[in-house]
Amino acid sequence: MEQWEFLIREAIRSPEMELKVRAVFAENTALHEENSALKDELSVLKERLAWFEKQVYGQKSEKSEVVLETAEQLPLFDEAEQTADVNLKNPEYIDVKASKRVKRTRDEIYADLEVEEVVHEVEDKICDKCGSEMTVIGKEKIRDELVYVPAHLFLRRHVAEVVKCTACGMDESRDADLPDIEKCHIRSAEVPAPMIPHSFCTPELLAHIAYEKYCKAVPLTRLEKDFKAKGVNLSSTTMANWIIMASQRWLKPVWEQMHRELVTSSVIHADETVVQVLHEPGKKAKTDSRMWVYCNGKVDGKSNILFDYQPTRNGDHAARFLGDYSGYIVCDGYDAYNKLKKAVRCGCWAHVRRKFVDALPNDKELLPTSAAAKGVEYCNQLFMLERYYSGRNEKDEQIADPMSSEERHNARQRQSKPVVDAFYAWLDTVEPAGGSNLAKAVQYAKNEKRYLCRFLESGDIPIDNNRAENAIRPMCVGRRNWLFAASVKGADASAMMYSVAATACANGLKVEDYLIELFRSLPGTLVMPW
């Protein structure tokens, strides 16, 4: 600026020329600013394009060996102390020795399967040496074969036995005092009521339908074709009606009991995802509704996973579902969870790490100097410590007993807290370009600091919300196949079906066997999925 002013004063004497020079100078300055802004915008657009291409064609894994394949371990803590005006101590590094995984034998893998033994007898028991008869001294196992029996359908025909009394009405002297006596009194055997009135549905059939759709993500239209190939015409509409009716009679009481037990948990994970409902009153078919998921924490002895369908993403739904819950709620950065007045909200470090992963440069040679890579490494250090607290090694194998809640809390204060402090001290030194993925990652971590640091307050609080994300994943996979729910009743039925199926699976039950047991019970009976 001073140089331009000097040229204007000394070299240009004409007022007209001075005005022209000033105009050129102003235009040049504006063009420089516009060029800088366009470069920033182009950089952001290239970053977004690279992200979309990665989603479509690239590697989806977020494992460190994939996203940081050429990067060495970064010198996190020394540099953080040098660049930040804080006095932080290096955390204690934990050396977890890798253990050799013992490979299971085939007998151990298939120990729970039914065994059909085929004995091959010796046809000729005459000794080929001396001609005497040989004696059986034992059996030798030759090999095992895994046999698959294709599913088959058959009719279970209920036939009632009919009996009659040949003595009724035959003896007038005896029957005189019985004015209502009839000749040949006939009576039929009692027959159990059908599972669904005026239907040929059975517990085994409905359990199979529910298992195929809600555990294997098979749409009802595809099941209809499969049944037709087996010789049975069973429409998808009929199957949908069966699911809706069964959810009200058998699943709803179980779902309500699961809900009552969930709100007694010390920790609840929460998340939500999009679901489309075609015929929803007051809404267009294209409007996205939400399937909310809630599950208890890992510290509890059994898994309890509940899905809840709601027409919007409004936080009032979570507040209504959890009521006066006053424990810890682990969730993402969605502020609607703040409507839970009594719950203590906790953040998710997996979301922080994912945002830094999205900001990684495409050129792997830039990783050693990348701020995003350094953010990923901070998160990796925290997750490595959590694996150590849980008694697992880097391969996620259980090699020791997990720490108690108090031991984990003390260990976090001693080892995890310095990592968190160093991370936020380093964040203050990062100045990313506005609008970039790195800027979004940094801003997210700063905005969520209060909730992300919450896990340091108690050993019962998980460091991430992966439990809810893993619970909701089967529903998201199924949504790609069945695309939408036709009605609100269908969406509610799906929520209850997903709840019992996911919970039974998480508790190690055979889902289809559990559903058969549930549907064989009287409606309203609490056959819990654990």
Task: Return the pLDDT at 180.
Answer: 63
Residue-level pLDDT at 208: 95
Beta-carbon-side half-sphere exposure of residue 516 (alpha carbons within 13 Å): 8
Q: What share of the chain is helix, strand, coil (3-state, %, to 5)?
A: 50, 10, 40
CB count, 10 Å around CB of 432?
16
Report residue 461 as tokens. Answer: 């609080």
The per-residue pLDDT for 519 is: 94
C-alpha–C-alpha distance, residues 153 and 201, integer Å: 12
pLDDT band at 129 (very low <50, low <70, confident <90, very high): confident
Is residue 258 included in any domain, yes or no?
Answer: yes
User: Please, which residues bridge with residue 277 across strands?
Assistant: 485
**Cα gap 493→220, rounded to integer Å:** 14
Cα–Cα distance measured from residue 84 to residue 427, given in angstroms and rounded to the nearest whole number: 9
User: What is the SS3 string spanning 474-522?
Assistant: HHHHHHHHHCCEEEHHHHHHHHHHHHHHHHHHHCCCCHHHHHHHHHHCC
Q: How far apart (Å, rounded) are the C-alpha atoms in residues 201 and 136?
A: 51
Contacts of 511 (CB under 8 A, 6+ apart): 211, 215, 501, 504, 505
Instruction: Say if residue 468's pLDDT is above 60.
Output: yes
- Does 76 fall in a domain? no
| Helical segments of 58-201, H only | 64-67, 76-83, 106-109, 172-175
**Does residue 119 surpass a pLDDT of 60?**
yes
Amino acid making up residue 78: D
Mean of pLDDT values over 343-348: 93
Q: What is the pLDDT of residues 321-345, one digit of tens each?
A: 999 999 999 998 888 888 998 999 9
Query: Is residue 89's pLDDT more than 50?
Result: no
Q: Look at the alpha carbons of 25, 30, 36, 39 in this order and tell me if their dihedral is positive or negative.
A: negative
Residue 87 inside a domain? The answer is no
302 DSSP assignment:
S
Helix (H/G/I), strand (E/B), else coil: 144: coil
Predicted pLDDT of residue 84: 38
Element housing 328 (H / E): strand 328-330
Residues 275, 289 contacting (CB under 8 angstroms): yes
- Strands annotated E in 311-443: 328-330, 344-346
Q: Say which residue the tokens 């709620």 belong to.
A: 329
Q: Lowest mean pLDDT of 158-162, 266-270, 359-363, 438-442, name the range.
A: 359-363
Q: Tell me if 165 is assigned to some domain.
A: no
With a cut of 80, say whether residue 204 has pLDDT above it: yes
Q: Please write the tens of the pLDDT for every residue from 57-83.
A: 666 566 666 566 644 444 444 443 443
Q: How far apart are CA 44 and CA 369, in angstroms?
A: 19
pLDDT at 318: 92
Calpha distance 112→109 (Å, rounded): 8
Please list the alpha-helical segments (H only) found in 230-347: 236-246, 252-262, 315-322
Mean of the per-residue pLDDT values for the chain?
83
User: Could you count the other beta carbons within 10 Å of the beta carbon of residue 435?
Assistant: 15
Res 171 pLDDT > 50: yes
CA 38/CA 49 separation, integer angstroms: 16
Give first-to-last CA distance, the chain, whole Å: 76
The pLDDT score that the predictor gives to residue 57 is 64
Q: What is the mean pLDDT of residues 258-263?
A: 94
- Please report, to the nearest 10 degrees, the dihedral formed by the alpha carbons of residues 419, 424, 425, 426 taken in order: 90
**pLDDT at position 474, please?**
86
How far apart CA 441 and CA 473 sit, in angstroms, is 24
Of the candidates 351, 345, 336, the one whose C-alpha atom is nearest the C-alpha of residue 383 is 351
* pLDDT over 70 (residue 47): no
Give me the helices (H) in 84-202, please. Answer: 106-109, 172-175
Cα separation values, 16 from 19, 21, 163, Å: 5, 9, 123
Angle between helix axes 220-229 and 236-246 (nearest 10 degrees) is 120
Residue 292 lies in a domain: yes
Quick one: which of 521, 519, 508 has its CA closest to 529?
508
In angstroms, how far is CA 27 from the centroid of its own chain?
56
Rounded to whole angstroms, how far apart are CA atoms 64 and 377? 9
pLDDT band for position 87 (cuts 50, 70, 90): very low
Q: What's the number of CA atoms in the CB half-sphere (13 Å) around residue 367?
A: 22
Q: Average the pLDDT over each of 139-148, 163-172, 437-446 and give the range with the smallest value.
A: 163-172
Cα distance between residue 334 and residue 345, in whole Å? 11
Give the structural domain span for 307. 247-520
* CA angle centred on 267, ends 273 and 408, rounded to 5°: 125
Asked if pLDDT for residue 16 goes beyond 80, the answer is no
Question: What is the total count of domains within the chain?
Answer: 1
Assigned domain for 281 exists: yes
Q: Which residue has the higher pLDDT, 223 or 40?
A: 223
Cβ-based neighbours of 391, under 8 Å, separated by 6 or more: 398, 399, 400, 401, 402, 403
At 7 the pLDDT is 56
Gap between the Cα atoms of 421 and 91, Å rounded: 10
Question: Is 200 within the bounds of a domain?
Answer: no
Question: Can you tell me the mean pLDDT for 459-482?
Answer: 89
Query: Where is pLDDT greater, at 24 or 414?
Result: 414
pLDDT band (50, 70, 90) for residue 100: low
At residue 66, the pLDDT reads 58
Q: Would you list the DSSP string of 188-235?
A: E---PPPSSTT----HHHHHHHHHHHHTT---HHHHHHHHHHTT----
> Phi-psi bin for 282: left (phi > 0), alpha (psi -120 to 50), beta?
left
DSSP state of 152: -
pLDDT value at residue 320: 92
CA distance 74 to 77: 9
User: What is the predicted pLDDT for the residue at 88?
Assistant: 40
pLDDT score recorded for residue 101:
56
- 75 within a domain of the structure (yes/no): no
The residues pairing with 487 across neighbouring beta strands, listed in sequence order, are: 279
